[in-house]
A and B are shown apart, each in its own frame.
Chain A
């Protein structure tokens, strides 16, 4: 049991998130228990309002639960102060948002190492260089976000998430704003980060094609986990979702 515990990058136990009360009560998460293993690329899927984003936000310490508990590694987030949560995000969690991932006044490189400079720690230069090479952005690193294309900006965002070697990376619709070619680039890159660099990624998406890049898809509907697909393909995911819609 202990070994499996440490093998988990993040997990939720009996997690519920309720907005409002009485007639207007909305159960965004309804007693969800799920775990994400290290070194794997997981996807969370579901229709709009299924609670997939809420689950991710709670797992990442950006939002708190109404009941239940979430863990990053062995750390239970509910017991942490606001400041401790911030420090945890800084060191143990990486983020890629759908849009607006970069601080416009900082260069790509400064954005990439931002969590570390905020912590006042020195980035591992060799590791940073390796990532920069992998995302193929070496010649763009001194540019400001406004001088980068949307795809390039997302690549910098992923690079930032990787740069601090966090325990887990959460990606919220990372390809939602990109054309299919740029999207494929980002997804390939995340796939490689897991396979070659041993990173752990949890991605929220509603796109079956994107989900097909992952090792495992957790499907949510109405705040509950309704299905799980291992080794997904775009077709299997599409079929499952279609079945949900029916």
Chain B
């Protein structure tokens, strides 16, 4: 039987190539996802190892508000701790460390590493074994007037040792210092800290980064032979409250792990797409096996007649699937690695080089690839294999026999049950109180089951729907059109199974499009209705805007109000939460807010908060009441509720005065500024004045309100486009599915096509016939997919809280575009099968068995 299996594969190379291709694509995605994520992990693991090399114990502040490990606050460790630790027995050396992101030097031509480039302030501690800083040229900076740069700055920008340059810090504003040296991170040449380093001496680094008389962490080098665990215990004993000591190894792992926050989701997103691609592939494979077995009924009957058991026939079919799965997986692993390299190159183009070379192929990746690639293929073949094993020996003798399938009644019941399960899961996900993870998992499961249900039920209505969709064909394209229509509906099960891949692909594309369009509209509505300011300034440097810039802007006559905004993680009224602070007394100038009681300008700026009517009710608070607030660094205060405002504003449920954050908060840079113009001043007049006041700061990006809204929408568009591109792979597979089915149909209908050609169908007409059949199938899949996608999209828009997505938008133009695209895809898919049909030798075709 194995020989039979192998022969069956080799004698149908083209068909197996196509089937293999769909699995290859899926496996490629899986492998690329893992390999790229692993490459990122390696990069950051290496970085982490480099940074923590030589450090036996690390001392850091405990941030009890950092629940998700995401605030990145890096609370200060007092400099006095460093002196104490140095005195300790068993400590060889210790150094304070500052790594303050977003400190930008501005070169001789006014350029600066902006945007997403890393430009980090570090302190030259003088302890080389711990800070790993090496002076390459000039000298180390000393005092408040000197700094040094890493080689990347000299390579990419115009800097010269001995000259004076401006430096912009997101925390503390602008400085001008002398560039005194070139300093590299890494004792070896190949250390992996990317971006640009701006080096100062200890005190200057503290000043620039806003860590007054403190460090972000302290690295300790033990005496030779001292046990790190013991050292940790000894150090911990002398540390003040809120400061902890951990081993260097632990620090390395923590640091490495902190990058999982974005690597993990990145990998998950890619894997989700991989799963979608494989899921779609399963339908294609299943359909292909069904058709092929349908064509081989006689041959299989003959095998049975010759004594093969049903089990052997089944084994032969599953064996075919197994071989296809293994071949495709092997190829997919290779292509996946290539794909990961490509994606890595794209990422590097956007965010700078990764120091790690290559993309690693881990055992875990291989296990997943084989499990999914081989698993899905074999899974898809099980039902056809079972059907094949039930073919009776008499099938060898009969003129016409179709392979068995469950009664349509059982099928309907099964499909309906699945649909109910899927809808229940999706509704459960949308309305449930579980976290984002649980919601998405349930939604994903629900969607997959609904797709399965649709695939099972689709044959029931494929006939009439295709008839309807293809109704214009006979009018438009005469007899070839009429026959195309008949062919598309003659086997509803096959048409449905072929179209379902396109249905899934387009359903997802439509879903994403509907949600994105609604999100865009909601963002637009929110900004339009909530923001009254004429300009906004965003933190283009990535890590905030220096608050000092606001003072500069306030000197301008063109401006009426300059409102600073910034988030901080705090414990407010007993609950750890992100709160936004703003310049409350000016708030009504830049934000549309409906204060129903009190005034945002009342009370002590450094002790005031405003809350929404809803929160007021929920927390039983009124104007004049006091609410406790606690900060990560230990600050505590009671804030007075000075205003209550109607719901649905820019700030959500509550916001406080930024003066409170200035006094107690850990963030030193502002998030954004909102500006409003003075009476009678136009945007055109104000713009140059504001730009002049901002100077050439790489940190502050000025935009009009409209530009800001456009930028948000552009961002959503980019995400939408990327999702569409990834889902495009599902569509690609759908095309392959149509090609596959049509090719097999053409082979099946060889005699019919021969007859048509004999009685006068031209080659052109035969191509037209196949082409429009493909279009009819594609259109059926597309219409079904778009309807499903819209339903899913509506459900999600409904389920998401209104202050995130409040408006449902149906992107009709895009949906029409999808339909047109489906028609074109059908035509593309028909190309090869149509060629095959038109090239048939009429005589041989007529004589075909």
| A residues apposed to B, CB below 8 Å | 57, 62-63, 82-83, 86-87, 89-91, 95, 97, 100-106, 110, 114-115, 117-120, 160
Contacts and interface: CB of A to CB of B under 8 A. Distances in A.
B761 A86 contact: yes
B751 to A, nearest CB: 5
Contact of A106 (B480, B483, B765): B483
Interface stretch (B137-145, B675-683, B752-760): B752-760
B479 interface: yes
A226 B842 CA distance: 29
B487 interface: yes
A90 B483 CA distance: 17
Interface in B200-227: none
B755 A87 contact: no
A90 B479 contact: no
A106 B486 contact: yes
Contact of A83 (B482, B763, B842, B846): B763
Contacts, number: 70
Contacts of A100: 751-752, 755, 846
B843 interface: yes
Given A83-B762, A105-B486, A117 B479 contact: yes
A89 B483 contact: no
Given A95-B758, A105-B486, 17 more contacts: A62-B758, A62-B843, A63-B843, A86-B760, A86-B763, A91-B760, A97-B758, A100-B751, A100-B846, A101-B755, A105-B490, A110-B482, A115-B760, A117-B478, A118-B478, A118-B765, A160-B759
B846 A97 contact: yes
Question: Which of A87, A95, A160 has the largest number of chain B CB atoms within 10 A?
Answer: A95
A136 B843 CA distance: 31
A120 B487 CA distance: 20
A105 B757 CA distance: 16
Given A103-B752, A105-B487, A106-B486, A90 B763 contact: no
B755 A118 contact: no
B846 A118 contact: no
Interface in B486-510: 486-487, 490
Contacts of A103: 483, 752, 755-756
Contacts of A91: 760
Contact of A62 (B756, B763, B842): B842
A86 to B, nearest CB: 5
A244 B387 CA distance: 52
B759 A115 contact: yes
A115 B761 CA distance: 8
Interface residues of B, number: 24
Contacts of B756: 103, 114, 118
Contacts of B752: 100, 103-104
B760 A119 contact: yes
A105 B842 contact: no
Minimum-distance CB pairs A-B, first 3: A90-B760, A105-B486, A117-B479
Interface in B756-778: 756-765
Contacts of A62: 758, 842-843, 846
A204 to B, nearest CB: 13
22 contacts: A62-B758, A62-B846, A83-B762, A83-B764, A86-B760, A86-B761, A91-B760, A95-B758, A102-B755, A103-B483, A103-B756, A104-B490, A105-B483, A106-B482, A106-B486, A110-B482, A114-B759, A114-B760, A117-B478, A118-B480, A118-B765, A119-B760
Nearest to A105: B486
Nearest to B759: A115
Nearest to A54: B843
Contacts of B757: 86
Contacts of A110: 482
B495 to A, nearest CB: 13
A102 B483 CA distance: 13
Contacts of B765: 118
A11 to B, nearest CB: 21
Contacts of B480: 118
A219 to B, nearest CB: 23
Nearest to A57: B843
B736 to A, nearest CB: 26
A89 B487 contact: no
B487 to A, nearest CB: 6
A120 B480 CA distance: 11
A110 B480 CA distance: 12
Contacts of B490: 104-105
Contact of A89 (B478, B479, B758): B758
A86 B764 CA distance: 11
Most chain A beta-carbon neighbours within 10 Å: one of B486, B490, B759, B764 = B759
B491 to A, nearest CB: 10
B751 A86 contact: no
Contacts of A101: 755
Interface string B454-483: 000000000000000000000000111011
Contacts of B762: 83, 86-87, 118
Contacts of A105: 483, 486-487, 490
Contacts of B479: 114, 117-118
A119 B755 CA distance: 15
A117 B762 CA distance: 12
Contact of A118 (B486, B751, B759, B763): B759
Contacts of A102: 755
Nearest to B764: A83
B842 A118 contact: no
From A63, A100, A101, A103, residue with most partner B Cβ within 10 Å: A103
Contacts of A86: 757, 760-763
B759 A89 contact: yes
Interface in B721-764: 751-752, 755-764
A82 B764 CA distance: 11
A119 B762 CA distance: 9
B543 to A, nearest CB: 68
A57 B758 CA distance: 10
B748 to A, nearest CB: 11
A37 to B, nearest CB: 24
Nearest to A99: B751
A56 to B, nearest CB: 11
A95 B759 contact: yes
A170 to B, nearest CB: 10
A89 B759 CA distance: 6
Contact of A90 (B478, B759, B846): B759
B760 A120 contact: no
Contacts of A63: 843
B759 A82 contact: no
A26 B759 CA distance: 29
A18 B626 CA distance: 107
Contacts of B760: 86-87, 89-91, 114-115, 118-119
Contact of B763 (A57, A82, A97, A104): A82
A91 B759 CA distance: 9
A97 B761 CA distance: 16
Contacts of B482: 106, 110, 117
Interface in B310-349: none
A150 to B, nearest CB: 11
A102 B486 CA distance: 14
Contacts of A82: 763
B701 to A, nearest CB: 64
Contacts of A160: 759
Contacts of A120: 478
Contacts of A104: 490, 752
Nearest to A90: B760
A87 B756 CA distance: 12
Of the listed residues B755, B756, B757, the one surrounded by the most CB atoms of chain A closer than 10 A to its CB is B755
